[in-house]
Amino acid sequence: MAASAADGIAELAITSLLLNTRFRPFHLRQYDGFWLLEEFLMDVPAVHSVFEPRPSDVLLASFPKCGTTWLKAIVFATRNRAEHPPCDLNHPLRHGNPHDVVRYLEMAFAQSTDDSGAGDAFAALPSPRVVATHLPYSLLPRRITAEESGCRIVYICRNPKDAFVSSWFFAKKGAATVARARARADKDMDMQLQQPPPYTFEEAFELFCDGICVCGPQWRHEMGYWEMRRKRPEKVLFLRYEEMLRDP
């Protein structure tokens, strides 16, 4: 079997990867042709070494800002309909965010590659489990992508123009959050001094077109899952955001 980017993930040296700080306030590192958040990359080795998929698992995959929250709500409600019928006043989605009930693989792990299972935030969850990821298909653990794996994947794609605009507003909100956190950490400094440098819509557009964004480039992210859907339609369900809007 040919080696893939996922094979070398355990020995990943984050600081040796190409760094880009133009997509403020995030620091991106390039790996296997994708620009990924440093925070994502730091926990990916633990995902590969610790996470144990189950045949009944459903993995929700997406490029950022492409309808992930909506997809989480739909799949969680469908998968848990027997335990939590829509009329249930205590339904988890009535009292919480979809991100609370469907967690991201790359955000849920402690930074550990211990094979003992320590740090697996999903091990205690009852089956069937629904988990999410923004990782490209090529960086998913082989335990998920292997032919013998029963884990199913649901991928949602979106018009790049809409995904970009959504990511632009998300980045602006993120910059403000970072500024507030810095201000709280150093109350002696003026809030205005803590703000990241100006980040214009035009700059963001050029970066997005060059693929310099979280998990970018978008087209390559989507193509990875589309190719797997074409080769293994029984494993990968490929959804389009716009079609879901027209026919929920």
Please write the tens of the pLDDT for every residue from 53-83: 999 999 999 999 999 999 999 999 998 888 8
- Catalytic residue selected from 84, 95, 134, 221: 134
Architecture of domain 19-246: 3-Layer(aba) Sandwich (3.40)
Please write the tens of the pLDDT for every residue from 28-39: 999 999 999 988
The structure's pTM equals: 0.86
Q: How far is CA 151 from CA 15, 25, 30, 160, 235, in A?
A: 32, 34, 28, 28, 7
Q: Is 48 a catalytic residue?
A: no
Query: Contact, 134 vs 62, CB < 8 A?
Result: yes
Identify the residue whose tokens are 């991201």.
Answer: 104
Domain limits, the chain = 19-246
